[in-house]
Each structure stands twice: as structure tokens, then as C-alpha cells.
Amino acid sequence: MRRLFIKFASFVPIVLLVAAVNRSVDPARFYGTHFLDPSRDQYEGAVIDNLLAGRSQVLVGPYNERLVLEAVFRSKRPIDTLVLGSSVAKPINGDSFPGENLYNAAIYGGELEEAAAVYQLAWENGRRPKRVVLEFHGRELGGRNWDIVPELVPVMLRVRKRLGLPSDDSESIRELFTQRADRTMPDNQSTAAQFVVDQSWLHPYDKLFSPRYFQFSLRSLGNAWFDAPTVTVGSGGVAPQPEDERQVLCPDGSVLWSRKWLSHTAEQIRQLVQSDAMKPVLWNRPPLSPSHCRLFDAFITDLERSGIKVILVLVPPFPAAFDRMHDAYARAHKPCPLDECESYVRAFAKKHSIQIDGSLDPRKAGVAEDEFVDYIHMRRDALARLIARNNAAQQGPN
């Protein structure tokens, strides 16, 4: 027995060494640190500190939104109204919901999957807001080949499990994301992405003692030692944006657009929309996807069962973009995805007595060209008016 104990004890230093290396190097950032780029941690730390202290943060570049959101949800700040969606929703702020504690948790580049994943983070941290505002701009129910923001992939898998959605969809997410990572990411990032997807119920603590993660950590250290470091200036590993392109993240999670965006005129946006460069962007609107519709149905139903009031905000594109998109689909004798998306959402909302503000049709929404900063993002005050107006779209066949 004594000999067995001695043999067991001899392995303890090795196990502790593996855990120490995996925790300190942490190439996949499971523990919120970045050994290759300390400035990235400082930047995201500053974002978190300022938000929790009620101060605004000038965004000099991208940051890990999941880390920031988790910190906000773990904090004691009250959240009555939670805003979900994409960058289109980022201007939505507390002024639209006076007397309530609002937090805008919309994700840059996000769609329906990211919205559900962000709510999952809030749910896992015990957050039960009174109201959820979900923004739609027309792509949410179309097939995207599960092109999900990488850091939210494992959260999305937990969403699907909690909502009881088909496992084959989850496997599609896992497989396609891993394939995309292998195809588009450098070796280190691709390996990290696979670890991100491959998570057990012990995550992230199981990675502390993982031999595979230990090998990945050592390889990352070796690459960092022999390769020249990337340019980092505290902005998530990229050069900072010019001052006139920097947005401001407000304490309630909403965003003030950059001076450059605000300087765009309706004529400039119209010329861009009518250029050849916009053809693939406007045409890239996938039709309704059954799997995405299932996710929408299950997600909203889950919110309702939790006693949470849901408001859907339909934000239209720039009028000329809407017209060009409609014309393109009409010439191809295909239904416009924007119309399909809105019809589906309105039918669901009518059945569930859910409020809808706005419309994906800019004329029904009552918006003007000068209320946009580009072909899809509206100005802060214009979006507030869209929400407050509860206009002709609400009075139609909802």
C-alpha cells in the first residue's frame, strides 16, 4: 500500500505541471487570458471595468464580446430589459424604455443563433429579465451554414440541448464550424476552435489536466518563441482604428456610431447601393430554413413560458437597397427573403400575441433615407423613433 502511494505521489508533480501550463498558457482562452497578447486582456478588462462602473468606452477595435457579456451578467447590475440581435440593434438604449434598467447585449455580426446564445449566458448566470427585445433585419431565419461567431458555438450547442432541438442540427453546427475553422483559420486558431466545440459538462476544468490541451499549449509556446509577434496595441490583436471610425460603447451596452458613419449622406449610401460592389451583398439573402424557424419558435416559446415579455423589432434596410433587392428577386422569379421572413414572424407573433415594432419594408416602417448611416444601420435617434412609433406595420395584418 505504501509503495502504491509513493508511485501515485510521484505523478502528482507531473499532473500539477500540466495543469499549471494549461492554465497559464491557455491558447484557447478558456480562462479569459491571452498569453500571446496581454494587451488584449487589458483592453477587454478596461471595457468590462468601465461598463460596470457606469462609464463609456471608446472602441479602438474588436473585442471578445462573450467575455464582456459574461462579466456583465455575473455582476449585480439590474437588468429589466435585455436587447438581443446584431450590430443593427446596437443603438437601442435606455431612452426607449424609460424607468427600466436596460442592457443592450446585441452582438456584432450576430443573427438569431447569437441572440439565443447570449440569452443562454444570461440564463446560466441566473438572469431573468422582464422583457427581451429581439431585433430582426431579415437574415435571421435563412440558412447560414451555421456560420456562428466562434466564441459562441459551444453556447449555441447548449441552447439547442436545453430547448430540446434536433441533435442532427447540433451535429451540423459542430461539423461545419470545425470544417470552416480548418479551412479558414491558421493552425493555432483552428486547433483552438476544435477545443472550443469539443466541450464536456466539466468544461473548462477538464482542459487543465488534458494531455491534448497540454500539447497544444506547448506548441503555442513554441510558435510564440520562434515566430514574430503580431502587431498589437490593445485592440484585440489588430492595429487600432482611426479616430473618426471609432464607436463608443455606452454603459447600457448601446453604441454611438463613429463620426465617419454619421457623416455618410443619403446620396452617398444610394450611390453605394446602386454600384456593382453591392450586388453580391444584396443578393446574399438565404430563403427560410426549417432548422432556423425551429430555433426561433423554440426560443421565443421558452421566453414566454418563463414569463418574459417579448418585443420584436423589425429594422428595414436603406430604401434603395430594399428596392434593388426586390427587383433582383422579381427578375429571378423568386420570393424576396425579406418578405418571407416578415410573413413568418408576423404569423408567429399574431398567434402568440407578441408586439412587433417596425417592418422590413422601409415604406411600411415609415423610415426615410436620411435616417441611415449605411445600407442597413440606422441612426440612434431614428431607431428610437422606429421603436416608439409602433407604426403602420403594427396596424397591418399582425
What CA–CA distance (Å, rounded) separates 23 from 214? Answer: 9
Question: What residue numbers bound the domain in which 320 lies?
Answer: 2-23+37-144+228-395
Report if residue 112 sits inside a domain: yes
Mean pLDDT across the chain? 82
pLDDT value, residue 229: 41
Report if residue 179 sits inside a domain: no
pLDDT value, residue 190: 41
pLDDT reading at 297 higher than 70:
yes
Report if residue 269 sits inside a domain: yes
Give the least confident one: 12-16, 35-39, 86-90, 253-257: 35-39
CATH number for 345:
3.40.50.1110
Report if residue 343 sits inside a domain: yes
pLDDT value, residue 236: 39
What's the rounded mean pLDDT across residues 218-226?
63
What residues form DSSP beta bridges with 256? Answer: 248
Q: Are 293 and 132 in contact (CB under 8 A)?
A: no
The tens digit of pLDDT for each residue in 122-133 reads 999 999 999 999
Which one is predicted more confidently, 91 or 5?
91
pLDDT value, residue 396: 47
Reported as a pLDDT band with limits 50, 70 and 90, residue 389 is: confident
Give the least confident one: 8-22, 357-371, 375-389: 8-22
Which one is predicted more confidently, 309 or 277?
309
pLDDT value, residue 165: 87
Report if residue 171 sits inside a domain: no
Count of domains for the chain: 1
Q: Is the pTM of this model over 0.85?
A: no
What CA–CA distance (Å, rounded) separates 374 from 351? Answer: 34
The tens digit of pLDDT for each residue in 315-353 reads 999 999 999 999 989 988 988 999 999 999 999 999 999
Report if residue 213 sits inside a domain: no
Report if residue 184 sits inside a domain: no
Describe the strand order of the beta sheet including 255-256 as a list of residue ranges.
57-59, 247-249, 255-256
Reported as a pLDDT band with limits 50, 70 and 90, residue 139 is: confident
Describe the strand order of the beta sheet including 355-358 as a list of residue ranges.
102-104, 81-84, 131-136, 309-314, 355-358
Report if residue 355 sits inside a domain: yes
CA 6 remoteness from chain centre: 51
